[in-house]
Structure formats: C-alpha cells, structure tokens
Structure 1
Amino acid sequence: MPQNDLDTLDERIVHALAEDARRTYADIGAEVGLSAPAVKRRVDRLRERGAITGFTVRVDPAALGWQTEGFIEMYCRSRTAPEDIRRALARYPEVASASTVTGDADALVQVFAADMRHFETVLERIAGEPFVDRTKSVLVLSPLLRRYTAGPPL
C-alpha cells in the first residue's frame, strides 16, 4: 500500500504505534483526537490493507549475547537472483537484514554475532555460498542513531 494512501490521522496512529506498539487505543486516541474504538477500527483497517504488517518487540542484541555487529557487502556471480540470495541468507540466524543495493556490491547484509570469532565464522560461511564471488566487511564500532519509527515525525 503506498504511503500516500494514508490520511493524516492514519499516519499519526502509525507513528504512535511505531514508537510503542503497546500503547492503548485510548492513549493513542487522546493524542490524535479520536475515541479508542475509532482508533481500533482504523488500526484494523490498516492491518487489512497491509499498511501495518504486524507488531513486534525490539530487543537489544547485546542483551542476547550478540556483542558484535557488522555489515557484509556481497559480490555475486552473474545472474544470481535476489531470491537465491534471500533464501541462502535466511538460513543464518545471525543475519538481521539483507538488501540488494546499487553500486558495485549486489547485496548488503547486517550481521550480529557473539564476538569477533563468531562474526568471522559467519563471514566465511556466507563467502562460501556457491553464488558468492567475494565479500567485503566492516564492523560497527558504535551505533550512532537507530530509528524504529514509521518515517519522519508529523
């Protein structure tokens, strides 16, 4: 669903839920000027239309023992389909996200690992996938900004 299909109230509701999905409909309604049942109807409609795809919890990877974060640029053999890359990377629990990208690399992969040795092992396994020509990796020293909102604030 294109974002421009949301009216201003829908956008405000989505932003409120993106900040904290545990907020009550009454709390969100007080913020956006609607009753709790009206907010619920809008959320239900947004879910039905696919604008809201689910609700989740954000966990600090370090709290789960994943102390090391890095990004891997993947350079693939010609004619490697994005679905082949996605299918292979889905097998790695350490992969937090993966995207095809512009530029020289074919894909950019975000990885969380317990430590440097673990990251190195994951890097070697990914580099060993049959469609991978080479990889290039960088490690995150300090995350400076992470946003979990649904776009720019209203």
Structure 2
Amino acid sequence: MDDIDRKIIELLSRDARRSLADIGSVVDLAPSSVNDRIRRLTASGTIRRFTVDVEPAAVGMGVLVYVWIALREDADEAAFRNHAVAHPAILECHHVTGAWSYLVKLRIAEMSDIETFLSGLKTKRFLGRSETVIALSSAVEGAHVLKEA
C-alpha cells in the first residue's frame, strides 16, 4: 500500500459515495485507475465495507453507552462473543487488557435499555461485573482510521 492508496482510503472514509473522478482529481489518477485501486484494496481486505453514517437520534437511538464487562469465571467466552456479534445494540465489542474482559459500545433508545442489556447478560450467565459510562456528547466520532496530518 502506497501513499495514493492511503489517500484514497482517507477520502472514502470521509465520504464513501465520493465519485471516482473526484477522488482521481485529488490523487492525480484517472477514474479507472482509482477504481482498480479500490477493487484491489477491497479484495485484499484492507477496505472491509462501504457503509452509511446514520444520525442516531433521527432513528431513535440517541443514547451512546460504553460498558466495561468482566465475564464470570465460568462464562463461555465463545458464546459471549457470538452474543455480542448478534446483539442489535452492540456497535463494537473489544477484548481488552487490565481488570476488564471486554469494552462494549452500545447505541440505545433510552436509559432503561442499559438495565435491559445488563439483565440479558446476567440471564445468559456472562456477566461477572460491569461499569457503565454514558457519553454526554462526542467531539470526534466516526470510522476514520487514517487522518490527514
């Protein structure tokens, strides 16, 4: 991957609908060459998907919550991971170092959904303990991996 690939990724991460001609004008390539690079980056797994950025409040999911989770000692970790993948409120789930097992990022409609989420983990015998952090606002939010200097 060269600097042009990195620039293409940065441009697409800001707007995945950006035209090939527009990207080409920024990186000084023909649209067909940009398309070839995007196809190669997608085939290699560097670009995993193209997505839509939805305003959470507009779809009734205005509450952003982070939950530190320590699994029970007898929890089936593979089952927990499968549960996380399938759960509609979980945006991200990260296995972490330190006192916690996982950090989970949730988008929910209202505060009472936190209790419902935690109750579900308890019912499935995953949850040993947890700590919940509610985001008041977000100064930076998005999927930008590469940023311009």
TM-score (norm 1): 0.88
Q: Which runs of 5+ in 1 are unaligned?
A: 1-5
Kindly report structure 1 stretches of 4+ aligned residues shifted beyond 6 Å: none
RMSD: 1.7
Q: Which runs of 5+ in 2 are unaligned?
A: none
> 1:108-127 counterparts in 2 under 5 A?
108-127=103-122
In structure 1, C-alpha distance between the alignment counterparts of 2:122 and 2:139, rounded to whole Å: 28
In structure 2, C-alpha distance between the alignment counterparts of 1:34 and 1:98, rounded to whole Å: 38
Are 1:49 and 2:20 an aligned pair? no
Structure 2 contact 70–100 (Cα < 8 Å) conserved = yes
Structure 1 contact 112–119 (Cα < 8 Å) conserved = no
TM-score (norm 2): 0.91
In structure 2, C-alpha distance between the alignment counterparts of 1:81 and 1:153, rounded to whole Å: 41
Q: How far did 1:77 drift? A: 2.5
Q: How far did 1:127 drift? A: 3.5
| Alignment match, 1:67 | 62
Are 1:96 and 2:100 an aligned pair? no
Aligned identity (percent) is: 31
Mean alpha-carbon deviation: is it higher for 119-128 or for 59-68? Answer: 119-128
Q: Deviations over 1:124-153 (max 9, x none)?
A: 222333132111111111122213323221
Aligned residues: 149
